[in-house]
């Protein structure tokens, strides 16, 4: 998956891994509809769901979706939900438009949740897949935080450093502990380093040095963070209302 942006950007946002393009699937026969099936990576990191129907139709064309497989349609607000959260609760409080942001992820492929896998592995749906000749699910399972960090360090370090070099940001925002740990591993001497995102001084600006440049760094919670972190993040958002651009003017 390609990052959002090319060239210098004032703000660099780093997440863990992409979400997905989801479709609602009405299988043939009597099988119950599946409200959301992940069929591909989301079109871009922290996609907002814009042009959803066009992306679904393009996926349908590319895979050669047959009417014998049932029907697919939009799945509501699930597509783009993380991207909308980022725009509303990160970019807006910082006074930065998406066009001024380089948005990327530590890893470049979607990972399937256990709940989604269990739905597709049900006896009923496995029968439908087999009868229609539809390939079974192929997404990798949801990784642990440690697994995300390990894979990013092993396989994506050079890509992330190249993105930071091209973007030349003034401010870096990491979303979640995995992204925070991966970004911390890229830093040079003279940088602040933290073990975990703190609830006590949430939103504190840290010093970071990468590619010989000093940048500001704010470690924030991921859109899917537990309720306690959502609450402290909302307090951070409310504290920023009415303030001027943070470090990206």
Closest CA to 213 of 188, 192, 194: 188
Closest CA to 73 of 35, 43, 103: 35
Per the DSSP assignment, residues forming a β-bridge with 111 are 140
Residue 26 · residue 33 · CB < 8 Å: yes
Alpha-carbon 249 to chain mean position:
25
pLDDT at 32: 80
The DSSP symbol for 100 reads G
pLDDT at 86: 97
pLDDT (tens digit, 9 = 90+) per residue, 172-219?
999 999 999 999 999 999 999 998 999 999 999 999 999 999 999 999
At residue 121 the predicted structure's pLDDT band, cuts being 50, 70 and 90, is low
Checking if the pLDDT of 120 tops 70, the result is no
| % of the chain exceeding 70 in pLDDT | 85
Task: Give the CA distances from residue 238 to residues 102, 221, 233, 243, in Å, rounded to whole numbers and listed in that order.
Answer: 24, 15, 9, 10
Residue 79 · residue 40 · CB < 8 Å: no
Using CA atoms, how far apart are residues 208 and 214, in angstroms rounded to an integer?
Answer: 6
Per the DSSP assignment, residues forming a β-bridge with 213 are 210
Supply the pTM of this predicted model. Answer: 0.89
Determine the 3-state secondary structure of 111 from DSSP. strand
Mean pLDDT in the chain? Answer: 88
Residue 139 · residue 211 · CB < 8 Å: no
Residue 76 · residue 3 · CB < 8 Å: no
pLDDT (tens digit, 9 = 90+) per residue, 39-48?
899 999 999 9
Residue 207 · residue 217 · CB < 8 Å: yes
């Amino acid at each position: 998956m390609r990052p959002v942006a090319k060239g210098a950007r004032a703000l660099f946002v780093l997440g863990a891994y992409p979400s997905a393009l989801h479709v609602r699937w009405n299988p043939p026969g009597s099988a119950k509809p599946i409200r959301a099936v992940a069929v591909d990576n989301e079109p871009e990191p922290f996609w907002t769901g814009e042009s959803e129907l066009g992306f679904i139709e393009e996926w349908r064309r590319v895979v050669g979706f047959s009417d014998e497989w049932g029907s697919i349609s939009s799945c509501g607000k699930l597509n783009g939900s993380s991207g909308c959260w980022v725009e509303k609760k990160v970019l807006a409080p910082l006074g930065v438009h998406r066009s001024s942001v380089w948005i990327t992820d530590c890893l470049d492929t979607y990972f399937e949740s256990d709940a989604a896998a269990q739905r597709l592995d049900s006896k009923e749906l496995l029968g439908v897949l087999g009868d229609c000749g539809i390939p079974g699910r192929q997404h990798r399972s949801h990784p642990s935080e440690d697994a995300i960090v390990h894979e990013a360090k092993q396989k994506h370090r050079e890509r992330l450093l190249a993105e930071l070099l091209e973007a030349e940001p003034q401010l870096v925002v990491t979303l979640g502990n995995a992204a925070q740990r991966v970004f911390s591993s890229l830093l040079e001497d003279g940088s602040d380093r933290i073990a975990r995102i703190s609830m006590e001084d949430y939103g504190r600006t840290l010093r970071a040095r990468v590619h010989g440049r000093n940048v500001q760094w704010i470690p924030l919670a991921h859109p899917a963070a537990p309720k306690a972190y959502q609450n402290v993040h909302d307090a951070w958002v409310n504290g920023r209302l009415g303030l001027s651009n943070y470090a990206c003017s």
